[in-house]
């Protein structure tokens, strides 16, 4: 299992660029004593909530190629899910983080941290101290779940009480290293914005694919939000497309299609999916991380 850190510039600027870094490997779940800059437990009912930022934190103003989200998800892309905590019935992989040796990366750097936590009976805490995005891969190969890489990913995300509304939780899929860069589809969620984006295959640069307001979808009382992400590789019109979707607390928030095309930024499938903490002060407790196959046909 690898950990990848990709730095972002100021999120309000017109373009976001990527700086690659090294990967580390941990198969034991052990590591240095971690010292996040905040206390260890989120408040379930905070007295106040931080103010929403005046600008969208994850929406660069330009993107040469963007596929807008259709008004509704394809029938098979986002199946009806229960928002009840726990492992989905059909999940082929599920980690509830009660076992601190289940294989997720544990680290504490000057600008980000990742650790198992006892909060909620066992969670995985991921935080970012700078204006950057850190992703951590699940310690599994998704081809063991879905041979064509088409998966549904569920997780409960609880923000720490000091996490600003400008910072985001989320999920990444098909992450991999290519040419010294990190490539992945990214799903960002905060109380103001839900966004789907891509670190491209060629340079690792970030490109927004689709975004919209998350008002009314994301809980703002610092309790858990249930996120469900679909990443499906499909054939359409003789070509290959990525069908991408995200539900927040059981409601479809955003869907998009992104074709493999000379008009689009390059992307590819890969066996890694994982979790995100994005933006200065991002601090999220994750629980019930599950992967379900969306593979269709005889090949599956």
Q: What is the CATH number of the domain that holds 99?
A: 2.60.120.560
Assigned domain for 53 exists: no
Residue 286 corresponds to which tokens in the numbers above? 């994750």
Residue 154 corresponds to which tokens in the numbers above? 């569920």
Q: How many domains does the chain have?
A: 1
Assigned domain for 31 exists: no
The radius of gyration computed from the CA coordinates of the chain, to the nearest angstrom, equals 18
Assigned domain for 39 exists: no
Distance of alpha carbon 27 from alpha carbon 7, whole angstroms = 25
Assigned domain for 162 exists: yes
Assigned domain for 255 exists: yes
Assigned domain for 41 exists: no
Assigned domain for 227 exists: yes
Distance of alpha carbon 65 from alpha carbon 21, whole angstroms = 26
Assigned domain for 246 exists: yes
Q: Tell which residue, 227, 16, 3, has the closest CA to residue 115.
A: 3
Give the CA count within 13 Å in the CB-facing half-sphere of 4. 28
Per-residue pLDDT in tens (0 to 9) along the chain, 300 residues: 334 444 443 333 223 323 333 222 223 333 333 334 443 444 443 333 232 332 333 333 233 333 333 434 444 565 555 445 688 889 999 999 999 999 999 999 999 999 999 999 999 999 999 999 999 999 999 999 999 999 999 999 999 999 999 999 999 999 999 989 999 999 999 999 999 999 999 999 999 999 999 999 999 999 999 999 999 999 888 899 999 999 999 999 999 999 999 999 999 999 999 999 999 999 999 999 999 999 877 667
Domain range enclosing 100: 3-9+88-293
């Amino acid at each position: 299992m690898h950990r990848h850190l990709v730095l972002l510039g100021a999120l309000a600027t017109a373009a976001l660029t990527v700086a690659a870094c090294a990967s580390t490997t941990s198969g034991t779940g052990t590591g240095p004593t971690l010292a996040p800059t905040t206390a260890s437990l989120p408040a379930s009912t905070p007295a106040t909530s931080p103010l929403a930022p005046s600008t969208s934190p994850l929406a660069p103003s330009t993107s040469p190629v963007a596929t807008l989200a259709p008004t509704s998800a394809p029938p098979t892309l986002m199946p009806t899910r229960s928002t009840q905590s726990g492992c989905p019935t059909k999940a082929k992989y599920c980690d509830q983080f009660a076992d601190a040796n289940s294989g997720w990366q544990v680290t504490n750097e000057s600008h980000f941290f990742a650790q198992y936590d006892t909060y909620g009976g066992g969670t995985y805490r991921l935080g970012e101290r700078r204006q950057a995005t850190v992703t951590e891969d699940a310690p599994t190969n998704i081809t063991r779940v879905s041979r064509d890489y088409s998966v549904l990913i569920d997780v409960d995300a609880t923000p720490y009480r000091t996490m600003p509304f400008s910072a985001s939780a989320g999920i990444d899929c098909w992450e991999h290293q290519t040419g010294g860069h990190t490539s992945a589809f990214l799903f960002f969620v905060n109380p103001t914005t839900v966004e789907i984006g891509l670190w491209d295959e060629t340079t690792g640069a970030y490109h927004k694919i689709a975004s919209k307001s998350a008002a009314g979808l994301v809980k703002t009382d610092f309790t858990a939000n249930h996120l469900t992400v679909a990443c499906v590789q499909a054939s359409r019109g003789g070509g290959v497309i990525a069908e991408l979707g995200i539900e927040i607390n059981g409601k479809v928030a955003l869907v998009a299609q992104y074709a493999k095309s000379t008009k689009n930024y390059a992307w590819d499938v890969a066996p890694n999916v994982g979790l995100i903490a994005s933006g200065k002060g991002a601090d999220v407790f994750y629980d019930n991380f599950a992967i379900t196959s969306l593979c269709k046909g005889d090949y599956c």
